[in-house]
Amino acid sequence: MGGRGAVVNVLVSAALGALVGLSVLAVVASLRGVQLFPSAHQRLAKMQERNERFSLWLLLAIVAAFAVWAVTGWPVAGAWVFCAALAFPLVSGSSTNPMSDIDKVEAIATWTEQIRDTMNASAGLQQALVATAAHGPVPIAPELQAFARRAPRGDLAAALVQLGDDLEHPSADMVVAGLLAATELDAGRLVPLLSRLAASIRDEARMRVRIEVGRARVRTSMRIVATCVAATILLLVVAGGDLLDGYNSVAGQLWLIVVGGLVVGAVFASRKLSEIPQPERFVARRRFT
């Protein structure tokens, strides 16, 4: 028993020592302004923000659904109002901002040109990466600053792979793949490669702007149609009188399900057609092959 107790004491002491060491490491990292798990911290912050917005919107959707049910006496109408309220950010385009993605593409192109120009000034690859990342374009500044803190302290290739994961964009994957090849092979041809990549990425940004201008008109037309349909339904409910008595039966409620399903299918089909397909992540695919 005495030997077993000694072993337990040693294990407890080792665990306490490890906790003390981790605490000291966390304090030193916080004093230096370094996040130990930057990607996890960003994901948790985004997840918390999305959860807060979703909770508020869910509460509003439930209140609206019960209000419609109480006014009309139609449970199917309340269910459709609940679904419409939850889908409203998707239909209105507030869930995703196309211009923010365009700004991100242009920022990646700008950073690529900064690396090229810095290397033309007789700077080494790692020096150019750290110098440009510390003062990178605003849309991708947090990811680049995290890379600037990681690169001088460890493996440059690993820091570049982490940068690709943080940026999470196909255009960034192409740039990161070129930089990774330069770290492993010869960086002599990197400058012309960066020039071609920057030109290609800027062409992509211009293409997205033209597409977004055309689709903005389509979204405006969809909002006008949706507003007219909602106003017509509201007018019928308020002043329809005997016109809506048929929906008080079970068959009428079933017809509401059919009509609502057609509307939902049309909305999601139009939304799917308006999305720009993204290619697969180049660096991520390379990692698993």
Separation in Å, CA 210 to CA 70, 102, 219: 46, 11, 15
Question: ∠ at Cα 39 (34, 203), nearest 5°?
Answer: 110
Q: Is the pLDDT of residue 82 over 70?
A: yes
Per-residue exposure over 34-57, b if at least 16 CB sit within 10 Å of its own CB, e if not: eeeebeeeeeeeeeeeeeeeeeee
**Listed residue (129, 104, 134) closest to 179, CA to CA:** 129
Lookup: tokens for 231: 């106003």
Summarised one tens digit per residue, pLDDT across range 150-197 is 887 767 888 888 888 888 888 888 899 888 888 777 666 788 888 999
| Mean pLDDT score, 233-237 | 80
Q: What rounded mean pLDDT belongs to the chain?
A: 77
Residue by residue, DSSP assigns 194-238 as HHHHHHHHHHHHHHHHHHHHHHHHHHHHHHHHHHHHHHHHHHHHH
Displacement of CA 281 from its chain's centroid (Å): 14
Region 109-113 average pLDDT: 93
Domain ranges in the chain? Answer: 38-96+218-273, 100-207+282-288
pLDDT at 286 over 50: no
Q: Euclidean distance between the first and final Cα of the chain, in Å?
A: 53
Q: Report whether 248 contacts 72 (CB < 8 A).
A: no
Residue among 23, 21, 25 at smallest CA distance from 13: 21
Instruction: Answer with the residue of higher pLDDT: 22 or 134.
Output: 134
Using only C-alpha atoms, the chain has a radius of gyration, in whole angstroms, of 28
Confidence class for position 289, pLDDT limits 50, 70, 90: very low
239: enclosing H helix or E strand: helix 190-239
* pLDDT tens figures, 10-49: 666 777 777 776 666 666 655 555 555 555 555 666 666 6
The tokens for 61 are: 């959707």
Q: How far is CA 155 from CA 61, 76, 180, in A?
A: 49, 59, 11
H or E element that contains 161: helix 156-167
Question: pLDDT value at position 109?
Answer: 92
